[in-house]
Amino acid sequence: MSASENTKLYILPLGYIENDVALNLLLHNQATVNDKQKLSEWHRVPSFCLLIVHPKLGKILIDTGSHPNAMDGYWPEKTRLSTPLVRTKEDMLDYRLKELNLTPKDIDLLILTHLHLDHAGGLCYFAGTNAGTKVIVHAEEIKQALFDTFMSQDDIANGYMQPDFRGLEGIHFDTVLESTSLADDIELIHLPGHTPGTLGVLIHLENSGTIFYTSDAVNWEANIYPQTALSAVFHNSLQMTNSINKVRWLQRRYDAELIYGHDMAQFQKLLLSPNQFYD
């Protein structure tokens, strides 16, 4: 893979999610015989999406954040209480695009790293758009999301909400079956475990070097360094372990900067849209 001199990467902030740390780090604060009353720890993690401006492929959006009405009754109460979304009107996807003088209709290609409600919820913005007719998602991801939501009686099943990705006007999926190169400088990396079809995105930039967005295959640095430590949200723990090892190997191979799915400490150091970008 080679870098393109004109490719730019923007990180669009979409608010924050609050939850028990144990969701991001399995068995965090586990009780012991000497401390049987350990308390849960509550924290805040970032939600964001990525925009790549590419000389050949155009404007590529990676993930869409949560549904615009997530905290206004769209998410069920149990979800709003256990993983509340904290955001302002400026954290909405359409507003973040507007800051870059864009609308959803200006997006040429849309990629969903997986279909969990905090990554695919904004798909509704792309109903009736060109990008919405060919949304890239892994084949195993759409299969699992449909199976889980059809078999469940609950509004949410294993992190999926069926209205996020089914029944939207003009939305069609273009599935990939394995790791896939989109261009000389952009590759989708299959990282199963968190979900069956989780995708990472490897981007080679002329000045910023290689950036590897792991999505939720690696939630935050504590999942991968100093050693593998799983999150509590996984479809298959062995696959997640193997994917974390794969991320570690690819990081070494390309001397890549990892961007994790939900790492607050890292997020506070990233170059954020609209005024900053990677190139």
Position 28 scores a pLDDT of: 86
Compute the distance between CA of residue 109 and CA of residue 9 in angstroms, rounded to an integer.
14
Asked if residue 126 has pLDDT above 90, the reply is: yes
Position 3 scores a pLDDT of: 65
Asked if residue 53 has pLDDT above 90, the reply is: yes
Position 4 scores a pLDDT of: 61
Q: What are the φ/ψ torsions at residue 85 (nearest 5 degrees)?
A: -100, 130
Position 1 scores a pLDDT of: 59
Asked if residue 31 has pLDDT above 90, the reply is: no
The pLDDT of 88-110, averaged and rounded, is 98
Tokens of 107: 């997006």
Mean residue pLDDT of the chain comes to 95
Most confident of 5-9, 32-36, 80-84: 80-84
Compute the distance between CA of residue 7 and CA of residue 278 in angstroms, rounded to an integer.
9
**How far does the chain reach from its first CA to its final CA, in angstroms?**
16
Position 29 scores a pLDDT of: 79
Position 71 scores a pLDDT of: 97
- Report strand pairing: 58-62 vs 109-111: parallel
pLDDT tens figures, 138-168: 999 999 999 999 999 999 999 999 999 999 9
Position 160 scores a pLDDT of: 98
pLDDT tens figures, 223-259: 999 999 999 999 999 999 999 999 999 999 999 999 9
Which residue pairs, CB below 8 angstroms and at least 24 apart, start in 18-21? Answer: 18/42, 18/43, 18/44, 18/45, 18/83, 18/84, 18/86, 19/43, 19/45, 19/82, 19/83, 20/82
Asked if residue 38 has pLDDT above 90, the reply is: no
pLDDT tens figures, 57-88: 999 999 999 999 999 999 999 999 999 999 99
Position 252 scores a pLDDT of: 97
Identity of residue 81 = L
Task: Return the closest-CA partner of residue 246 out of 181, 168, 172, 194.
Answer: 194
Q: How confident is the model at residue 194 (pLDDT cuts 50, 70, 90)?
A: very high
pLDDT tens figures, 110-121: 999 999 999 999
Task: Return the closest-CA partner of residue 67 out of 46, 51, 85, 83.
Answer: 85
